[in-house]
Amino acid sequence: LIGFFGNEMNSPVYVVGGFVRDLILNIENYDIDIVVEGNGIEFAKYMAQQLNAIVVPYEKFFTANVIFKDGFKIDVATARTEYYESPGELPQVDISTIKKDLYRRDFTINAMAIKLNPQDFGTLYDFFNCQKDLEEGVIRVLHNLSFVEDPTRMIRAVRFEQRYGFKMENYTLDLLKKNLSERYLERVSGSRIRQEIEKILEEKNPIKAIKRMAELDMIKHIFPKTYYTATMEEKFVRLFKFIPYLKERFENFNDFYAVSTIFLEYYDKSTLEEMRAKYGYPKKFIETLKFTENIIIPVKSLIENRYPFSDIYKVCGKSNPYIYSHISAYLDEDEQNYLLSYIDTVLNTRIEKVTGKYLMERYQLKAGPILNNILEELFCLKLDNSN
C-alpha cells in the first residue's frame, strides 16, 4: 500500500534500516522506517489521510510519524544528508537521495533499503556491501566520521554486537577506541546516553553488553569514577537475576536506576551531583543510594542469618525498590529468596486503619511520634507473625 501511495505522490519510497536488517536475518521487527525521495511530510500526510491515521510532522527534520488508531506507528523521513556543525549536537539536514541517506547511517547492517513502489517492489538497495556484513556478522561503520558525528553510535555498536553475536570489524573497532579516548562520548547530552543505555537494558542479555563496554573501557566515559572489577560484574549478575521479581511487584521499575546504584557506588557527593545533573536522577534516588550504601552490610548479615523480618524492617525502613535491587546484588540465590519473601510480606502486611484511631481514642494519644512508634511496633509484630 505504501508503495502505491508513493506512485500516487510520484515519489520513490523505501523501507530502511533495522526493519530490512531484521527481515534479512528473519527476525520479527515491527519498527517500520520509511524513506521518501521527495517530500516525506507531504507523503506522510497523504498516507495518513488515505488510511485514516494521524500525522505528527517534524518540519525541521523533514520527518513525520504516522500514528494509526490502534497505536501502530510508522516513521516517515525524507531522504537526506546530514551534516553536523559540532559533534554530539543534532544534525543540520539537507534533502537528498536514498544512497546518500543510507551512507549517513551508523553501520552497514543498518544501511540497506527495500523499494516499495509496485513496479520495483521488494528490490533491495545495497550500495555498500551491507548484506555481506550482515551474513558474516560484522559491524562496520560506513565512513570514518560516523562516531564523531554521533558518539552514541559507540554504545549502539556494542548493543548490536551483543544482540546478534556479531563482531566489530577491526577498523571500526580502532575508530571506536580512538574516538572514545578523544572523549567524544563526553560531548553528548546525558539524556541521549541514558537512552542508549536504557536500550541496552531492554536487550535479552544486558550483562553481556555491560561486560563488553567494560572491556572496551567505555564505562568510565559514562560513569567517570567507576572502576569496573570482577566483583562489580558479580553484582550485576546477581542484580539482573533479581530485577524481574521487582518488576512484577513495582510498577515503573526503572532498570537504569537499578544499574546506576552499582555504577555509582562510593561516589563522592559532588560527583553524584554531577551525575544527577547529567542523567536526571531524582534527588530522592541519590538519597536512597547513599542510605543503602550504609545499611547493605548489616542487612546482608541479617538476611544471611535469617533474622526475623521485623529486624530487617527496622534497618530498611519503608523501603523503595531501589533499596531492594541494590541489596540483591550482594546476595546469593537463597538469600535473594529470603529477601523476596520479606518484600512480599512487607507489601502484604497492613495494620488496619482503625488501629491508629482506636489507639488514640482508647489511650487518649495524639497523632505524633509515640503513636507512630506503636503503630510501627504493631506492624513489626504482624510482619513476623505472617512469616
* Using rule CB under 6 A, residue 18 touches ligand CTP: yes
Using CA atoms, how far apart are residues 274 and 165, in angstroms rounded to an integer? 35
* Using rule CB under 6 A, residue 150 touches ligand CTP: yes
* Using rule CB under 6 A, residue 105 touches ligand CTP: yes
Contact 237, 331 (CB under 8 A): no
Q: Of 105 and 235, which CB lies nearer to ligand CTP in the complex structure?
A: 105
Q: Pick one of 5, 15, 33, 325: the residue that binds ligand CTP (CB under 6 A).
A: 33
Q: Pick one of 17, 40, 206, 321: the residue that binds ligand CTP (CB under 6 A).
A: 17
Contact 329, 356 (CB under 8 A): no
CB of 27 to ligand CTP, least distance (A): 9
* Using rule CB under 6 A, residue 169 touches ligand CTP: no
* Using rule CB under 6 A, residue 101 touches ligand CTP: no
Task: Give the orientation angle of helix 255-263 with respect to helix 206-215, to 10 degrees.
Answer: 40
Q: Of 134 and 262, which CB lies nearer to ligand CTP in the complex structure?
A: 134
All 3 cell numbers of residue 128? Answer: 555498500
All 3 cell numbers of residue 279? Answer: 542523567
Q: Pick one of 115, 140, 153, 326: the residue that binds ligand CTP (CB under 6 A).
A: 153
Query: What letter would DSSP give residue 151?
Result: T
Stretch that binds ligand CTP, among 126-134, 148-156, 174-182, 351-359 (CB under 6 A): 148-156
Stretch that binds ligand CTP, among 103-111, 119-127, 176-184, 226-234 (CB under 6 A): 103-111
CB of 159 to ligand CTP, least distance (A): 7
User: Which residues contact ligand CTP (rule: CB under 6 A)?
Assistant: 17-18, 31, 33, 105-106, 110, 150, 152-153, 156
